Amino acid sequence: MMNIAGYTLFRRDRPKRRGGGVAIYVRDNTVACEVLASNCNPAYELLWVSVQSANYNLIIGALYHPLKPIYQISALLEHIEACVDQITTDTSDSMIVLAGDVNGLSENRLITRTGLSPIVNQATRGANCLDRIYGSEPCYSDIKVVQSAVTSDHRAVIAYTGTIKVTYNKENTKRIFRKQSPNRNAVFLSQLSQLQYQSYYTDDTQIEFDHFYEYLHALLDSF
């Protein structure tokens, strides 16, 4: 149900609890595999994926830290630090990117423990920056915070490199309209001059008006 054509899905579901979990989608023409962290608490909603291409090796982490965690925050920070150390030791040439909804997780404590740098400085939910991205080195030239494409009170964060993207906060709406031309207008007025409208002669004024407008709309649609 959650598969997207053209992408490989990596997911870590929230065990024995409703909702939650994290996922990473990677284009299916890119070599990618999950990185299994040692001593990982199943309660941590943290997923690591290795992405490789001709130009770079990237380790991406997806993190969700709930408002009311069932674990100690210090233990989560210690685990993230251990993951970063393990990745750095095993693949020293890889860039590390950690992203997700961290809610009230202390940014200073995360930076101090991991050495990763924050790159999102705009509010993503109300006046708060809850959805963040951290990197081991500069790897994105632009960051945009935009309205989410799904129903959410969080905004979406787009990190990219290349041509500057322009945000279009617009909606597509179809409307029916009647094209106007002098000839059509002349025929319409000619028809009106010969109009012989018959009333229903009912006691309900609304029914009379509805019938009258229906008749006029039929004329407009004809011409």
Give me the tens of pLDDT residue by residue for the chain, a chain 223 residues long.
889 999 999 999 987 777 788 999 999 999 999 998 877 888 899 999 999 877 778 999 999 999 888 899 999 999 999 999 999 888 878 899 999 999 889 999 999 999 999 999 899 999 999 999 999 988 888 999 988 888 889 999 999 988 888 877 677 888 888 788 888 888 888 888 887 777 777 788 898 899 889 988 888 888 7
- DSSP for the chain reads ----TTEEEEEEPPTTSSS--EEEEEETTSEEEEEPPTT--TT-EEEEEEEE-SS-EEEEEEEE--SS-SS-HHHHHHHHHHHHHHHHHH-TT-EEEEEEE-TT--HHHHHHHH--EE---S-SBTTB--EEEEESS---SEEEEE--SSS-SSPEEEEE-SSPPPP--------------HHHHHHHHHHHHT--------S-HHHHHHHHHHHHHHHHHH-
Q: Is the pTM of this model over 0.75?
A: no
Domains of the chain: 7-160 (3.60.10.10), 182-222 (no CATH)
